[in-house]
Amino acid sequence: MGRAWRLIPAAALLLAAACGNSTGTTASPDTTAQRQEGKTIALFLPESKTTRYEAFDRPLFEAKVKSLCADCKILYSNAEQDAAKQQQQVEAALTQGANVLVLDAVDANAVAPLVNQAKQKKIPVIAYDRLISGIDYAYYVSFNNVRVGEMQGQALLDAMNAKGSTAKGQIVEIHGSPTDPSSADYKKGAKSVLDGKVKVGREFDTPDWSPDKAQQQMEQAITAIGKDNIVGVLSANDGMAGGAIAAMKRAGYKELPPITGQDAELAAVQRILTGEQYMTIYLDIRAEAEKSAELAVALSKGEQPPATSKVNNGTVDIPAFLLDPIPVTADKVKDTIVKDKFYTADQICAGEVKAACAKAGIQ
């Protein structure tokens, strides 16, 4: 994956500069003098059911901020999929003197009032991973989400064509949370590939991206369609893929149909190698988290590096940095996930996965 976008030359010089006389202490955001005394960056993540947020996004973001500004203070909050809780967390951070907000919204369609509160205090906001609609703000940092869906749809279609099963049965589509605008993009991309080429037996939107709810949805689909008639499963992420696989195993599948995923969760990578899951989308979360940290530090110093693109959020074009996703099947794990040290071979190749790793050349 190309990473040239991660540091713009002019911004690199600015971001490498010292962070001044910041003390990292809590300060009121209401006066310029006070804001210059200490830089406080607030990071808000939406949930922890998806393992990436606590395992990667948070530590990578925090480490990058500290490497750029050792005396910057970081306020961290996880909303655990509770929009009301996230509202309280954002309001608390504003009260505590946050100078920049990096917000991965639980409900990205309902947080415009929170962004407006920040704007009134002249506190810039970065929409992290999920596009916030209805209001202007500093930056959006994420992946090309429509492309993610296209890759998932194409991978599923290719796998079914290879099995000769495309016209022999139906697929189940398990989409993400309806409050996450990324879900609509994934769905749009997948349907642009699959519509007219496969028959959709059942389709679900999954509140909270919940693996448990995905398992229940898959059980409903198996009952309604019949397990022998399901030839593929489009799952928008790995956690829900795990839920769907659990349902299929419980139903007595001897051979699982191809199923997609996203996030390259460790359990999913292991399932791909052992043949239970067909593919995942590998997102370079390090690049996303570090770019957001770079921008947050720059904004805290009154700088605004130029963006590489723009994304319309329904109201205005938001300066954006978008990273390309990478589809990963069993034969690609070694040259992507392992090569990038996203996981080590020892982490992946534990227990019964060891033989599958050897077959894939992972040692």
| 85-124 residue pLDDT tens | 999 999 999 999 999 999 999 998 899 999 999 999 999 9
The phi-psi region of residue 123 (left if phi > 0; otherwise alpha if psi is between -120 and 50; otherwise beta) is beta
Q: From residue 343, how far is each of 126, 325, 338, 360 by CA, in Å?
A: 28, 17, 6, 15
Token pair for residue 141?
Answer: 């940092």
pLDDT at 249: 97
Q: Quick one: tokens of 54?
A: 């606590």
Q: H/E/C letters for each residue in 19-50?
A: CCCCCCCCCCCCCHHHHHHCCEEEEEECCCCC
Number of H helices, E strands in the chain: 14, 12
Average pLDDT value for residue range 147-166:
97
Do 330 and 275 meet the contact criterion of CB atoms below 8 Å apart? yes
Q: Which fold has domain 145-282+326-359?
A: Rossmann fold (3.40.50)
Quick check: 74 pLDDT over 80? yes
pLDDT (0 to 100) of residue 4: 34
CATH fold, domain 4-143+284-323, is Rossmann fold (3.40.50)
Q: Encoding tokens for residue 273?
A: 């190698």
pLDDT above 50: residue 341: yes
For residue 23, pLDDT over 70 is answered with no
Q: Using CA atoms, how far apart are residues 78 and 98, in angstroms rounded to an integer? A: 16
Cα-Cα-Cα-Cα dihedral sign, residues 260, 266, 271, 272: positive
The dihedral sign for the CA sequence 113, 137, 43, 26? negative
C-alpha distance from residue 251 to each of 195, 236, 238, 353 (Å)? 27, 21, 20, 23
Is the pLDDT score of 3 beyond 70? no
Question: Quick one: pLDDT at residue 109?
Answer: 85
pLDDT, residue 38, reads 56
Contacts of 100 (CB under 8 A, 6+ apart): 39, 40, 41, 42, 123, 124, 125, 126, 296, 299, 300
Q: How far apart are CA 203 and CA 182, in angstroms?
A: 17
Q: What percent of the chain has pLDDT over 90?
A: 87
Asked whether residue 1 carries a pLDDT value surpassing 80, the answer given is: no
For 275, the 3-state DSSP assignment is: coil
d(CA 228, CA 248): 11
The predicted pLDDT at position 17 comes to 37
* Strand ranges of the sheet holding 100-103, from the earlier edge strand across to the other edge: 73-78, 40-45, 100-103, 125-128, 139-143, 317-323, 309-312
Residue 286, CB half-sphere, CA atoms under 13 Å: how many?
Answer: 8
Residue of 51, 134, 55, 46 lying closest to 90 (CA atoms):
46
Cβ neighbours of 315 (radius 10 Å): 12
**Predicted pLDDT of residue 339:** 94
Mean pLDDT of 49-65: 95
Amino acid identity of residue 205, one-letter, is D
Read off the DSSP letter of residue 263: S
Query: Which of the four pLDDT bands, split at 50, 70 and 90, describes residue 133?
Result: very high
Taking residues 4-27, report their average pLDDT.
35
Look-up: residue for tokens 């191809």?
258
CATH 3.40.50.2300 region(s) of the chain?
4-143+284-323, 145-282+326-359
For residues 143 and 324, is the Cβ–Cβ distance under 8 A?
yes
